[in-house]
Structure 1
Amino acid sequence: MRSIFTLALLSGAMTGLSQAETLDWSEDSTRALKSALDSNTYGTATSVLILHEGQTVFEHYAHETNEETLHNTRSVTKTVTGMVLGAAIEDGAIDTATPAAAYFSDLTPFENPDPRKFEITIEDLLTMSSAMECDDWNQYSNGNEERMYLVEDWNSFFWNLPIRGFPSWRTPPEKAPYGRAFSYCTAGVQMLGEIVERAVGEPFSDYAERRVFAPLQLADFKWSRSGSGQPHLGGGLELSTRALGKLGELQRLNGMAGDDQIFSVEWAAQSISVKAEIPDTPFSYGYLWWLMPYEVDGTEYIAAAMSGNGGNRVFVLPEFGITAVFTNVDYNTPSMHQNASRFFQHEIVARLN
């Protein structure tokens, strides 16, 4: 187990607001968090990285990992896909109002034909609110991701799905907040990556590496791939803890990486603006970002989070200048997301003022 603590932060060696105004952190904080992680208080956490105004406050590795370990943070990949799409928008290649099916004329006619398929926009896919019957949280859904993994052609898998129905006990889009009925759909995110590839005329992985990873100096990563060789854009991208921190910082800094504008300030803002409510949770959803409310001194804020199976999270708190990475390997366990939330509340929120 290894921890790194940057004392320069305690002396105020940072930009922006002073630490006293935003984050109470001390050597005691470091010892307490290290002890909690060593005792598996938050499950099998493999790493934690906390950045404040770009400076490292705390960095810790456990369970045979280190700063070079590539972590499979599962659906955290979805948010990365959204960042790459934001870069394509910055390049003028894509408009979120465009019907997504326009990029897949080679697959027509679709099975289960319905004109509403041609009305699904890129924004619908970004917000998990398309008309397709695709729900990873329902094992009986035609579009459940586990069914997609069984076939080679993921593009056809998505577009051949039926349109979802709304029986009387479910809220249709026209009666839902923000006019969107949320349904968590990995296959739809896969289509977003395919759209980027077709729009820019370059393999998605090459474009992502050139436009997003290279400016952030991310050289070590590993894509999961489909049976046809396409990168899996809804999960499985392996990155180091520090790389995840850089991606979180890219959002916090409104798309800036050094002197490079990877995606626009507007895209950064829209990505973490509420677009849909997530039923039966206190959370909402932006453009492939989870939006999680928290309270400091009686004021409510929203943390933007990349979130993946196992309890993996990258939290971005713009108002407080904080990016925090939490990696965990408790895949498919009942407590995985609760552990990530407890870490956030007890170790981050409790130290804000």
Structure 2
Amino acid sequence: MHPCRPRFSAALIFALAVVLPPTALAGPTQLDAARITALESAIATQDIKQVTSIVLLVDGQVAYEGYFNGGSADTLNDVRSASKSVTAMLVGAAIGDGSLPGVQARVYDYFPAFTAHHPVDPRLRATTVEDLLTMSTLWECDDENAFSAGHEERMYVTEHWLDFVLSLPVKGFAPWMTRPEDSPHGRAHAYCTANSFVLGAVLEQATKQPLADYAAQALERPLGITTSRWNRSPEGIGMGGGGTRYRSRDLARLGELVLAEGRWQGKQLIPARYVRAMVSAQATTGDGSDYGYQWWGLKLPVDGHETTIWTMSGNGGNYVFVIPGKKLVAVITSQAYNRSYAHPQSRRILTEFLLPALR
């Protein structure tokens, strides 16, 4: 057997089908063997580099599962900013259980100790949870601009991340920049990890629990996820913006939950209305992609047509793709961190190999 070829058994496929309930009664999908062989060959020859796992679910059942380059079913994958999408799901869970009143909740209201001792511009005082979710706050924060006051690397070297973010100045709009009122969806999007970090801090205040504990209670245990790892800031606040670690199959469970609009084994873990908003265009990114609530709407070719595919996305080429029209969830984990080829090659795995293999 080829050293990169995954080893399956009927028992393994059956077991996974049990923990990941099918959305419809159907047998395992038969894939085009030639496409899968080509995919494994590309990984083996380093045409596709540093990918550690690929899991494909169709109709809730495992159609393909492979581990490469030292990855395994038990590996806790550092999915970097794909963590942001999980944090967005936790916001939905908190709205569903009443911990948060809704996406219009005002962010600074959750930090009275800060506002008691720091003057806050009224425009920033009006910042909502939805502003954080859509990366459209008025904080001067842009991870794609090394000169930005709120750039994530500046936050990481401070002792108090929360104070750092809440103290950021109001963003200015140079003549060549698009103002919120002139932007698609009325929001000027700027990718800012600090937004996601503060979301985690809001969740901790609202739920009265550490972020990792609330994640376990609201999502992980109900989904059968028994192992994960969440990072914390120097002051001990859960890091909702990156570095969370999950096993590949557990990432697939998260994707399946979104595919099922928040319902799992008869229980509504996240309100369906929230899930639909989460994976709908709420803002437009600089490259023309849609952006929902910390989920990306990528424009990718499907069956010869450009299609919006909603996905969790993280540095290194880590993805969880969700395609409702095909009842499909695809997980790709990769360690190509900070490599220019990381994202294109993971998208290529989906569009050049996995989707065509379904035909």
Partner residue of 1:74 out of 80, 98, 105: 80
CA, structure 1 residues 222+342, in 2 after alignment: closer, same or farther (shift >3 Å)?
A: same
Measure, in 1, the Cα distance between the counterparts of 2:350 and 2:284.
21
Question: Residue 66 of structure 2: SS of its match in structure 1?
Answer: strand
Query: Structure 1 counterpart of 2:295, which letter?
Result: W
Contact 2:259 2:324 in 1 (8 A): yes
Contact 1:78 1:233 in 2 (8 A): yes
Greater Cα offset, 126-135 or 148-157: 148-157
The match for 2:92 is 86
Asked if 1:25 corresponds to 2:31, the answer is yes
The match for 1:290 is 296
Greater Cα offset, 76-85 or 34-43: 34-43
Query: Structure 2 counterpart of 1:248, which letter?
Result: G
Contact 2:36 2:353 in 1 (8 A): no
Asked if 1:191 corresponds to 2:198, the answer is yes
Give runs of aligned pairs for residues 116-155 of structure 1, distance below 5 A. 116-155=123-162
CA, structure 1 residues 346+104, in 2 after alignment: closer, same or farther (shift >3 Å)?
A: same
Query: 1:93-129: per-residue Cα shift (whole Å, max 9, x none)?
Result: 2110122111112101575741101111110100000
Query: Structure 2 counterpart of 1:150, which letter?
Result: V
Measure, in 2, the Cα distance between the counterparts of 1:29 and 1:14.
24
Query: 1:147-178: per-residue Cα shift (whole Å, max 9, x none)?
Result: 11111211111110001010110000000010
Query: Structure 1 counterpart of 2:145, which letter?
Result: N
Query: Structure 2 counterpart of 1:71, which letter?
Result: N
The match for 1:313 is 319
The match for 1:232 is 239
Contact 2:33 2:357 in 1 (8 A): no
Query: 1:239-265: per-residue Cα shift (whole Å, max 9, x none)?
Result: 111111111111111112212211011
Asked if 1:267 corresponds to 2:274, the answer is yes
Contact 1:6 1:56 in 2 (8 A): no
Measure, in 2, the Cα distance between the counterparts of 1:113 and 1:14.
49
Runs of 4+ in 1 over 6 A off after TM superposition: 6-9, 17-20
Measure, in 2, the Cα distance between the counterparts of 1:269 and 1:311.
25
Measure, in 2, the Cα distance between the counterparts of 1:71 and 1:182.
28
Query: Structure 1 counterpart of 2:113, which letter?
Result: D
The match for 2:285 is 278
Asked if 1:104 corresponds to 2:111, the answer is yes
The match for 2:351 is 345
Q: Could you list the runs of 5+ residues in structure 1 that have no partner in the other structure? A: none
Measure, in 2, the Cα distance between the counterparts of 1:116 and 1:19.
55
CA, structure 1 residues 112+164, in 2 after alignment: closer, same or farther (shift >3 Å)?
A: farther
Contact 1:180 1:276 in 2 (8 A): yes
Query: 1:210-251: per-residue Cα shift (whole Å, max 9, x none)?
Result: 110001111111122211222221011111111111111111
Measure, in 2, the Cα distance between the counterparts of 1:333 and 1:124.
30
Compute the TM-score of the two structures, normalised by the length of structure 2: 0.90
The match for 1:63 is 69
CA, structure 1 residues 301+110, in 2 after alignment: closer, same or farther (shift >3 Å)?
A: farther
Greater Cα offset, 293-302 or 202-211: 293-302
Partner residue of 1:256 out of 263, 267, 276: 263
Query: 1:181-217: per-residue Cα shift (whole Å, max 9, x none)?
Result: 1111111111111111111222221111011000111
Query: Structure 2 counterpart of 1:135, which letter?
Result: D
Asked if 1:163 corresponds to 2:170, the answer is yes
Percent same amino acid among aligned pairs? 37
The match for 1:3 is 6
The match for 1:246 is 253
Count residues in correspondence: 347
Contact 1:45 1:326 in 2 (8 A): yes
Measure, in 2, the Cα distance between the counterparts of 1:88 and 1:148.
26
Question: Residue 195 of structure 2: SS of its match in structure 1?
Answer: helix
Query: 1:313-335: per-residue Cα shift (whole Å, max 9, x none)?
Result: 11111111110011111111121
Give runs of aligned pairs for residues 15-54 of structure 1, distance below 5 A. 16=24, 25-54=31-60
The match for 1:212 is 219
Query: 1:249-294: per-residue Cα shift (whole Å, max 9, x none)?
Result: 1111111221221101111111000000001x13110000000123
Deviation (angstroms), 1:346: 0.6
Measure, in 1, the Cα distance between the counterparts of 2:326 and 2:108.
40
The match for 1:180 is 187
Contact 2:56 2:65 in 1 (8 A): yes
CA, structure 1 residues 14+120, in 2 after alignment: closer, same or farther (shift >3 Å)?
A: closer
Question: Residue 75 of structure 1: SS of its match in structure 2?
Answer: helix
Contact 1:5 1:57 in 2 (8 A): no
Contact 2:258 2:275 in 1 (8 A): yes
Contact 2:262 2:269 in 1 (8 A): yes
